[in-house]
Amino acid sequence: DIQMTQSPSSLSASVGDRVTITCRASQSISSYLNWYQQKPGKAPKLLIYAASSLQSGVPSRFSGSGSGTDFTLTISSLQPEDFATYYCQQSYSTITFGQGTRLEIK
Amino acid sequence: QITLKESGPTLVKPTQTLTLTCTFSGFSLSTSGVGVGWIRQPPGKALEWLALIYWDDDKRYSPSLKSRLTITKDTSKNQVVLTMTNMDPVDTATYYCAHVTTDFLDYWGQGTLVTVSS
Interface of B with A in 54-83 (CB under 8 A): 60-64
pLDDT tens figures, A70-101: 999 999 999 999 999 999 999 999 899 999 99
Residues 6+ apart with CB under 8 A from A97: A4, A87, A88, A89, B39, B46, B47, B48, B49
Q: Are residues A95 and B49, on separate chains, in Cβ contact within 8 Å?
A: yes
Predicted pLDDT of residue A74 = 98
Predicted pLDDT of residue B102 = 81
Q: Which residue numbers in chain B have pLDDT < 70?
A: none
Predicted pLDDT of residue B89 = 98
- HSE value, Cβ hemisphere, 13 Å, CA-based, for A47: 25
Q: Are residues B104 and A98, on separate chains, in Cβ contact within 8 Å?
A: no
Residues A30, A84: Cα–Cα separation, whole Å? 27
pLDDT tens figures, A51-60: 999 999 999 9
- Residues of chain B contacting residue A98, judged by C-beta atoms under 8 Å apart: 46
CA closest to B5 among chain A residues: A43
Predicted pLDDT of residue B29 = 96
pLDDT tens figures, B61-94: 999 999 999 999 999 999 999 999 999 999 999 9
> Is the minimum CB–CB distance between A31 and chain B shorter than 8 Å?
no
CA distance, residue A1 to nearest chain B CA (Å): 8
